[in-house]
Structure 1
Amino acid sequence: MKAWILMLLALSLPALAQAEEGGKEEDVNKVAYVALTPPLVGNYALDGGPKLHVYKADVALRVTGAEAQKAVKANEPLIRNQLVALFTQQTMDSMSNVDSKEKLRQEALKQVQQIMNDETGKPVVEDLLFNNFIAQ
């Protein structure tokens, strides 16, 4: 009876190993969205006028694979700093209409990819999404 159980276990081990390897391959190609939390909040269009202009941006970064996700998380403080610097430089026009916000999103993506390329040797981030973007 014990020999039969051992034989059954011996035959099932290669199948278990294959299942684990398949799971690792899936993780490599799995798309994930890394949310930068808390949202980015700050002032922009600092033209010296009496009115204070404020933005709030909920940003998510699209990556593929667990390694890319870890790389983004490891570099999140640098990414946040660069995005805050970019948003602070904006004007009322670049924060107010849809076309300008799309240009801002593309510039933010380009800058995040540059950071990741400098830090990891690969752009890593495939897309940058504004889940919510408010400018007043």
Structure 2
Amino acid sequence: MTKSLASRFIATALLVSSAFAPAFAQDKANFAYLGLEPDIVTNYIGESSKKLGYVRVTVELMIYDVDQLEIAEHHMPLLRATAIDIFGRQPEEKVKSLTGREDIRRAILKALQDHMKKETGGEVIKNVIFTKYLYQG
């Protein structure tokens, strides 16, 4: 009888705690998303200096807080120019490989966070997401 009662108590406690867990997680996260529009379309360095490829990427920025969305929108020209500059300096093998693509994404994220920290005092941007990634070279 004691085992049965203890089992019921534990089961009830787990159900109650799991019911409230998503509510707490939603209260804590107040992220916003902002797209760099239009898509980033730029050249990258081909196999030889005579050959250029091009890349077209749809970029979404994950903003730490909805309240910072207006700040990010205000700095949109700087954010776009930074992403275009980083893509334009990449070699073909980096643009075409999955690991290279991740390296590019991280480089863009770091550069955008550094720019926003310099301009606003905070990083503002939590993550960079590529939702479309096309290249030709």
Taking structure 1 as the reference length, the TM-score comes to: 0.74
Aligned to 1:120: 120
Alpha-carbon distance in 1 for matches of 2:29, 2:69: 12
Secondary structure at the aligned position of 1:53 is classed as strand
Q: Is 1:85–2:85 an aligned residue pair?
A: yes
Residue identity matched to 2:87: F
CA shift for structure 1 position 33: 0.8
Alpha-carbon distance in 1 for matches of 2:38, 2:116: 20
Q: 1:60-75 counterparts in 2 under 5 A? A: 60-75=60-75
- RMSD of equivalent CA atoms: 1.6
- Structure 2 runs not aligned, ≥5 long: 1-26
Identity %: 26
Secondary structure at the aligned position of 2:105 is classed as helix
Secondary structure at the aligned position of 1:90 is classed as coil
Alpha-carbon distance in 1 for matches of 2:89, 2:41: 13
Residue identity matched to 1:101: R
CA shift for structure 1 position 29: 4.8
CA shift for structure 1 position 32: 1.1
Secondary structure at the aligned position of 1:128 is classed as strand
Aligned to 1:10: none
Q: Is 1:111–2:91 an aligned residue pair?
A: no
State the number of aligned residues: 109
Taking structure 2 as the reference length, the TM-score comes to: 0.74
Give runs of ≥4 in structure 1 deviating > 2 Å: 64-67
Residue identity matched to 1:66: V
Residue identity matched to 1:48: S
Aligned to 1:14: none
